[in-house]
């Protein structure tokens, strides 16, 4: 058992190192490559605050905040998604499946179309709506404790209602508002500024340590509420802390970059496949999420002859996996 634990820990560290190296490589490529190629010396000069003709605007104002937000949003989506999936012991328990992202999206669409507001006000409303929907789902699913299946079913129902509300709002939108709302709802990093990036960084710095500090309790929750409670975990208190922190990360990332499809859903299962069983998936899943958004955004910009939002690329990746998961669930008689 001791040797197995050592092997699992070593594999987890190796995977984390490889993922971190790939993120650094992808980040560097995102800064260097575009319609104009800039040398590493020019990019480093911009990062150090030097005035480099052409590169100061293209790299400093366009590429740098975009690539930074891609990494930060991916970390938030991956960390928040795997927290829900682990806590509820179900790969369908992802924020973009159970309605949290739908709440933020509905609020943003309403703000853009009906209230004619934009920028920070839309982000603030999306964050508040994401937190409010999470609280509603938790309250409705609480009955002597929170049962994972009940929370997922209630979340899927609320997501369907919110998606219908979003569709209704969009059907009544003027052309300009419709374009703006659709751009946001797709999950898009075009035109990102540091004003959108900094709040996500602050949320990650404040909330990620909370989730990492609850890592042991999160792992124990996989054994079931009764067993976890017998091992000294205050189950409901720990679950509430995990939900608040995970929803906060998802809400801030969604407010900045839009509901980038399936990143929170995919990051945990991918991390589980490459890390293996018996270890915490929080850090690996966060890194997988960052890599998915970073690579997806780069491919959307340059791989298809036309610029596609990152949400389109991740949606193409995530939809087949969701279909596979549903088919597997059906063949297993409803057991995931």
Residue 186 lies in a domain: yes
Q: What is the mean pLDDT of residues 129-137?
A: 88
Please report whether residue 144 resides in a domain. Answer: yes
| Predicted pLDDT at 329 | 61
pLDDT band at 68 (very low <50, low <70, confident <90, very high): very high
Give pLDDT, residue 145: 62
Does some domain include residue 202? yes
Q: Between the ranges 26-40, 144-158, 223-237, where is the mean pLDDT highest? A: 26-40
Residue 294, pLDDT > 90, answer yes
Over range 268-291, report the average pLDDT: 89
pLDDT at 334 over 50: no
pLDDT confidence of residue 335:
42
Worst-scoring range by mean pLDDT, 1-15, 83-97, 129-143, 271-285?
A: 1-15
**pLDDT band, very low/low/confident/very high, at 235 (cuts 50, 70, 90):** confident
Write out the residue range of the structural domain in which residue 61 sits.
2-331
Q: What is the average pLDDT score of the chain? A: 85
Residue 301 located in a structural domain: yes
pLDDT in tens, 153-192: 888 899 999 989 988 988 887 777 787 788 778 888 888 8
Q: What percentage of the chain has pLDDT greater than the value 70?
A: 94
For residue 24, tell me if it sits in a domain: yes
Give the chain's domain count.
1
Taking the model in full, what pTM does it have? Answer: 0.89
pLDDT on residue 1: 61
Considering the domain boundaries, does residue 224 fall inside one?
A: yes
With b for 16 or more beta-carbon neighbours within 10 A and e for fewer, the 63-99 pattern comes to bbbbbbbbbbbbbbbbbbbbbbbbbbebbbbbbbbbb
pLDDT tens digits along 296-314: 999 998 888 788 889 889 8
Q: Is residue 336 part of a domain?
A: no
User: Which residues make beta-bridge pairs with 142?
Assistant: 146
Determine the average pLDDT of the residues in 117-142: 84
Q: What is the CATH number of the domain that holds 142?
A: 1.10.3470.10
At residue 336, the pLDDT reads 42
């Amino acid at each position: 058992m001791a040797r197995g634990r050592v092997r699992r820990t070593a594999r987890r560290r190796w995977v984390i190192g490889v993922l971190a190296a790939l993120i650094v490589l992808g980040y560097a490529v995102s800064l260097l490559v575009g319609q104009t190629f800039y040398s590493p010396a020019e990019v480093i000069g911009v990062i150090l605050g030097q005035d480099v003709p052409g590169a100061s605007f293209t790299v400093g104002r366009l590429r740098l905040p975009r690539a930074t937000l891609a990494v930060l949003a991916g970390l938030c989506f991956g960390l928040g998604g795997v927290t829900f999936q682990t806590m509820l012991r179900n790969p369908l328990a992802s924020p973009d499946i159970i309605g949290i992202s739908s709440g933020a999206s509905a609020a943003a669409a309403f703000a853009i179309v009906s209230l004619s507001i934009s920028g920070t006000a839309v982000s603030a409303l999306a964050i508040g709506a994401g937190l409010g929907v999470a609280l509603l789902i938790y309250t409705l699913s609480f009955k002597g404790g929170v049962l994972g299946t009940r929370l997922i079913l209630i979340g899927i129902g609320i997501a369907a209602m919110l998606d219908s509300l979003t569709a209704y709002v969009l059907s009544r939108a003027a052309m300009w508002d419709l374009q703006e709302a659709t751009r946001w709802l797709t999950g898009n990093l075009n035109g990102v500024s540091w004003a959108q990036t900094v709040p996500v960084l602050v949320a990650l710095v404040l909330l990620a340590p909370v989730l990492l500090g609850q890592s042991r309790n999160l792992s124990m929750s996989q054994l079931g509420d009764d067993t976890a409670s017998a091992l000294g975990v205050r189950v409901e208190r720990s679950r509430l802390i995990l939900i608040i922190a995970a929803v906060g990360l998802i809400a801030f990332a969604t407010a900045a970059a839009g509901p980038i499809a399936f990143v929170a859903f995919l990051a945990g299962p991918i991390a589980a496949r490459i890390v293996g069983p018996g270890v915490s998936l929080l850090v690996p899943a966060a890194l997988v999420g960052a890599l998915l958004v970073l690579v997806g955004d780069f491919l959307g910009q340059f791989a298809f002859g036309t610029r596609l939002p990152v949400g389109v690329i991740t949606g193409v990746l995530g939809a087949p996996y969701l279909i596979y998961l549903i088919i597997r669930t059906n063949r297993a008689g409803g057991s995931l």
